């Protein structure tokens, strides 16, 4: 098979950031380099050089988004150069007939020899090659999937990108969608790794793809699945590698991290599609922690990611306030529509990168996890993908969706803050929207935060809009048939501490634990749960009070647990039960390992997002300073992801990992502690029973009194609730109620 070389192309590398593993005190745990230099090719080569531009006219260029596509004039002739003794001897050894055929082929479609060019449904793209642990991966970054959502397209649903004809340079990272940076701890790498690492822009709707080179060249086809000739012309030269020997090679499986359940890859490899988190307000697919070089190379899978609009640019919802013919001006959820369009583009172009369009898995963390949930359940995208991995986020979590009424209220406040007069939405919506589209993006990005209303109460989130999300998540679940769906989901041990620190920065220190007096504890708890009824708050405080001696440090821990349980762990538990009841195959994990190089204080434990680097396989990078047990954990967790993508079951080599259900809430523990059993049931049963079963009853009872005979002893409603909470706690601890 004729493959391409890079004899006339400079070696490429991407800047690596290894601070955390080389100097743990100065850098962030997650900021890791996974970008080795492109491997030089030593095979004998024939270089097919294009004549200088003067022979055929000047090369024309066309701008495509932020990329430049090169278009060359038609070639009247092609020269095969023997520029060295090595090349001359090789040429002399080739039969004249072969040279003639080769010359004719090159003169027609010289670009077919460029191994890094892929013909997509939008046009040809050229990526770059990286070598990871001796395996070559082709990486394509910055492929546009939608028109830049600027000017008249701001706040609207995405429009597919215009096709291009030249070869698109897909070797540079795209812009990050407009957002604000977190700068609570200036110069602190633990925070900086989550901030944008590319320029922010409204022109940000781009896709990234990682494809194992051998698989892509073996299975790669055009977007419609047919074999194609790719016009991958370089502006300067094109190179051709003459293979050392002929004959088909057997399928290479020696480099797979796990091959216990071999799958048929005749029609292409599995594709994992990553959706980043950030509370629907921040985030970027270009962050170092999401680099999929290792996942693609070691797992032998295709990996894709994409940017989608966040904040008001992605979720401004004003349609109910405007006449029907203006409904598309700001329908809301356009960030979810971005995701849906990107997923469809990846599915349509799966064959081009060597993937199988019927073998897709969505995976994401936090808001990205909730997005996976939305894409699996929405009637707009139902059935496009039936396999999803949800890390610390589901659509039933309090922060993950809002009502249409609430979204409109926030949207109108933003309009007024931008001096565009929301009172005119009904009478002159065109004027209001024209005004909003004329406001500088930075102004909108800053002003939207005026509607932030407390811990994890972000001003933008998916909206129950009657279209993408026709009803609240649990209502949608009631009629869903999920018998063909595979779900892998879970949580980390200390989901709440990260958010607790940021929202109560005056009370806590990122490095050292705080001995919090009882009055401060009550102040914070009442602040966090201020929207609950008094009866609910009393029950929550009772549930998260340490009654067995309290030096103050436990108050801090208890608040962290309350935040993590309420906003993450217990909604995930509840949703896992509902998925299983509707027929889905659900596997649950629990990540309990604190990485040795973490820069955050010990009191923060295993933070929200700490599992990401392990699922991406970053500990397998031997140049980074992970401990051996952490490398083994990284291998095991990456293996679970790959097995799940291939078969729908994350278990490996006959390992036991039963399905999760309400009746048998079994989960798998990812830990470096060999003394801990890998499978467990119910350690958070009491805490999640409280949120999912008991507190809803408190909500329904709120405001009722105690009916009793005159003169008889009576107990206040609040005390009744406290007593019931205590009884529930004892009963759940004894195993009468199992949720986790």
Quote the tokens at residue 717.
Answer: 């409603």
- Higher per-residue pLDDT: 73 or 415: 415
Residue 32 pLDDT exceeds 60 = no
Residue 7 pLDDT exceeds 50 = no
Summarize pLDDT for 92-125 with one digit per residue, the tens: 444 444 444 444 444 344 434 588 999 999 999 9
pLDDT reported for residue 114 = 81
Sequence-ordered list of residues with C-beta below 8 angstroms from that of 353, at least 6 positions apart, any chain = 118, 138, 140, 209, 211, 216, 220, 302
**φ/ψ of residue 402, rounded to 5:** -145, 160
Please give the C-alpha separations between residue 364 and each of 97, 247, 368, 369, 643, in angstroms, as whole numbers. 54, 41, 4, 4, 16
pLDDT reported for residue 704 = 54
Percent of the chain with pLDDT over 70: 72
Can you tell me the mean pLDDT for 389-399? Answer: 97
The domain locations on the chain are: 45-232+268-391
pLDDT reported for residue 700 = 83
CB burial of residue 395 (10 Å; 0-12, 13-18, 19+): buried
With helix as H, strand as E and coil as C, how does 662-684 read?
CCCCEEEEECCCCCCCCEEECCC
Highest mean pLDDT among 246-260, 596-610, 726-740: 596-610
pLDDT reported for residue 267 = 81
Of 50-64, 215-229, 421-435, 658-672, the least confident? 50-64
Q: Is the dihedral of CA 245, 248, 249, 252 positive or negative?
A: positive
pLDDT reported for residue 266 = 62
pLDDT reported for residue 52 = 32
The H or E element spanning position 142 is: strand 135-144
The C-alpha atoms of residue 290 and residue 279 are separated, in whole angstroms, by 17
Tell me, rounded to whole angstroms, the distance of Cα 622 from its chain centroid: 24
- Provide the CATH topology of domain 45-232+268-391: Rossmann fold (3.40.50)
Can you tell me the mean pLDDT for 155-179? Answer: 97
The H or E element spanning position 132 is: strand 128-132
The C-alpha atoms of residue 398 and residue 196 are separated, in whole angstroms, by 26
Q: Which of helix, strand or coil describes residue 357?
A: strand
Can you tell me the mean pLDDT for 201-205? Answer: 99
pLDDT reported for residue 726 = 55
Of 375-384, 457-466, 731-740, the least confident? 731-740
Can you tell me the mean pLDDT for 374-382? Answer: 95
pLDDT reported for residue 223 = 54
pLDDT reported for residue 48 = 35
The C-alpha atoms of residue 707 and residue 618 are separated, in whole angstroms, by 62
Q: How confident is the model at residue 725 (pLDDT cuts 50, 70, 90)?
A: low
pLDDT reported for residue 220 = 60
Question: What angle (nearest 5°) sits at the alpha carbon of residue 287, between those of residues 461 and 618?
Answer: 120
Are the beta carbons of 591 and 572 closer than 8 angstroms?
A: no
Residue 567 CB coordination number (10 Å): 24
Sequence-ordered list of residues with C-beta below 8 angstroms from that of 479, at least 6 positions apart, any chain = none
DSSP secondary structure letters along 8-34: TS---------HHHHSTTTS-TT----
pLDDT reported for residue 520 = 95
46: which strand partners?
A: 240
Q: How confident is the model at residue 548 (pLDDT cuts 50, 70, 90)?
A: confident
590: which strand partners?
A: 491, 669
Q: How confident is the model at residue 42 (pLDDT cuts 50, 70, 90)?
A: very low
End-to-end CA distance of the chain: 53
Summarize pLDDT for 339-374 with one digit per residue, the tens: 999 999 999 999 999 999 999 999 999 999 999 999
- Return mean pLDDT, the chain: 80
Summarize pLDDT for 487-513 with one digit per residue, the tens: 999 999 999 999 999 999 999 999 999
Can you tell me the mean pLDDT for 387-393? Answer: 98
- Higher per-residue pLDDT: 198 or 62: 198
The C-alpha atoms of residue 2 and residue 241 are separated, in whole angstroms, by 6
In the chain, what are the helix, strand and coil shares in percent, each to the nearest 5?
A: 35, 15, 50
Summarize pLDDT for 703-712 with one digit per residue, the tens: 554 443 434 4
Residue 485 pLDDT exceeds 90 = yes
Tell me, rounded to whole angstroms, the distance of Cα 529 from its chain centroid: 29
Are the beta carbons of 559 and 528 closer than 8 angstroms?
A: yes
Can you tell me the mean pLDDT for 156-163? Answer: 98
Summarize pLDDT for 446-481 with one digit per residue, the tens: 999 999 999 999 999 999 999 999 999 999 988 899
Residue 61 pLDDT exceeds 60 = no
> Per-residue b/e over 128-137, b at no fewer than 16 CB within 10 Å?
bbbbbeebbb
Give the residue numbers marked as catalytic. 366, 495, 608
How many residues can be counted in the chain? 740
pLDDT reported for residue 360 = 98
Tell me, rounded to whole angstroms, the distance of Cα 712 from its chain centroid: 60
Percent of the chain with pLDDT over 90: 66
pLDDT reported for residue 234 = 35
Q: How many CA atoms lie within 13 A of 535 on its CB side?
A: 21
271: which strand partners?
A: 302, 360
In the block, tokens 């990682």 appear at: 210
Summarize pLDDT for 270-304 with one digit per residue, the tens: 999 999 999 999 999 999 999 999 999 999 999 99
Residue 534 pLDDT exceeds 70 = yes
Can you tell me the mean pLDDT for 191-210? Answer: 98
Q: How confident is the model at residue 699 (pLDDT cuts 50, 70, 90)?
A: confident
């Amino acid at each position: 098979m004729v493959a391409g070389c890079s004899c006339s192309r400079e070696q490429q590398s991407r800047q690596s950031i290894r601070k955390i593993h080389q100097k743990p005190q100065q850098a962030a745990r997650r900021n890791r380099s996974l970008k080795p230099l492109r491997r030089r090719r030593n095979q004998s080569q024939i270089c097919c050089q294009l004549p200088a531009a003067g022979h055929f006219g000047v090369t024309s260029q066309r701008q495509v988004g932020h990329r430049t596509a090169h278009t060359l004039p038609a070639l009247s002739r092609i020269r095969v150069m023997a520029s060295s003794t090595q090349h001359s001897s090789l040429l002399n050894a080739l039969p004249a007939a072969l040279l003639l055929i080769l010359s004719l082929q090159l003169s027609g479609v010289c670009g077919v020899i460029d191994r890094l060019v892929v013909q997509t449904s939008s046009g040809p793209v050229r990526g770059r090659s990286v070598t990871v642990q001796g395996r070559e991966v082709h990486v394509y970054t910055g492929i546009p999937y939608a028109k830049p959502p600027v000017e008249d397209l701001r706040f609207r649903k995405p429009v597919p990108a215009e096709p291009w004809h030249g070869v698109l340079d897909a070797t540079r990272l795209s812009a990050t969608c407009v957002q604000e940076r977190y700068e609570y701890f200036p110069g602190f790498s633990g925070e900086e790794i989550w901030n944008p690492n590319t320029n922010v822009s409204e022109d940000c709707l781009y896709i990234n793809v990682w494809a194992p080179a051998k698989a892509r060249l073996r299975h790669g086809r055009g977007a419609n699945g047919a074999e194609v000739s790719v016009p991958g012309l370089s502006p300067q030269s094109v190179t051709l590698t003459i293979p050392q020997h002929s004959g088909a090679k057997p399928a290479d499986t020696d480099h797979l991290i796990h091959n216990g359940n071999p799958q048929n890859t005749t029609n292409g490899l599995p594709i994992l599609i990553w959706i980043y988190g950030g509370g629907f307000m921040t985030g970027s697919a270009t962050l170092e922690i999401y680099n999929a070089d290792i996942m693609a190379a070691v797992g032998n899978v295709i990996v894709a990611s994409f940017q989608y609009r966040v904040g008001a640019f992605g979720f401004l919802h004003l349609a109910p306030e405007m006449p029907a013919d203006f409904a598309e001006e700001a329908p809301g959820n356009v960030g979810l529509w971005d995701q849906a369009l990107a997923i469809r583009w990846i599915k349509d172009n799966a064959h081009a990168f060597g993937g199988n369009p019927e073998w897709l898995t969505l995976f994401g963390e936090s808001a990205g996890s909730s997005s996976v949930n939305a894409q699996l359940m929405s009637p707009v995208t139902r059935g496009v993908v039936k396999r999803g991995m949800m890390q610390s986020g589901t659509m039933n979590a309090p922060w993950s969706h809002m009502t249409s009424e609430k979204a409109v209220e926030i949207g109108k406040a933003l309009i007024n803050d931008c001096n565009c007069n929301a009172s005119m939405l009904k009478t002159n919506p065109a004027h209001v929207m024209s005004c909003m589209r004329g406001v500088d993006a930075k102004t909108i990005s800053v002003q939207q935060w005026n509607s932030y209303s407390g811990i994890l109460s972000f001003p933008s989130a998916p909206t129950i809009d009657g279209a993408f999300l026709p009803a609240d998540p649990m209502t949608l679940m009631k009629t869903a048939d999920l018998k063909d769906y595979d779900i892998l989901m879970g949580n980390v041990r200390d989901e709440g501490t990260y958010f607790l620190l940021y929202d109560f920065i005056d009370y806590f220190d990122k490095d050292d634990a705080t001995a919090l007096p009882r009055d401060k504890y009550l102040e914070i708890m009442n602040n966090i749960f201020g929207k609950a009824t008094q009866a609910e708050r009393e029950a929550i405080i009772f549930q998260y009070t340490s009654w067995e001696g309290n030096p103050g440090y436990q108050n801090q821990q208890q608040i962290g647990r309350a935040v993590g349980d309420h906003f993450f762990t217990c909604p995930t538990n509840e949703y896992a039960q509902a998925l299983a009841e509707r027929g889905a195959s659900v596997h649950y994990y629990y990540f309990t390992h604190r990485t040795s190089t973490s820069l955050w204080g010990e009191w923060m434990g295993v933070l929200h997002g700490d599992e990401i680097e392990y699922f991406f396989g970053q500990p397998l990078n031997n140049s980074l300073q992970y401990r051996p047990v952490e490398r083994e954990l990284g291998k095991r967790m990456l293996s679970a992801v790959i097995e799940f993508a291939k078969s729908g079951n994350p278990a490996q080599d006959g390992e036991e990992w039963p399905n999760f259900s309400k009746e048998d809430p079994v989960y798998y523990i990812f830990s470096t502690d060999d003394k801990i059993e890998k499978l467990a049931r119910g350690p958070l049963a009491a805490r999640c029973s409280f949120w999912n079963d008991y507190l809803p009853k408190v909500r329904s009872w709120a405001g009722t009194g105690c009916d009793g005979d005159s003169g008889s002893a009576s107990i206040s409603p609040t005390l009744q609730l406290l007593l019931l909470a205590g009884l529930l706690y004892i009963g759940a601890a004894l195993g009468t109620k199992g949720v986790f």
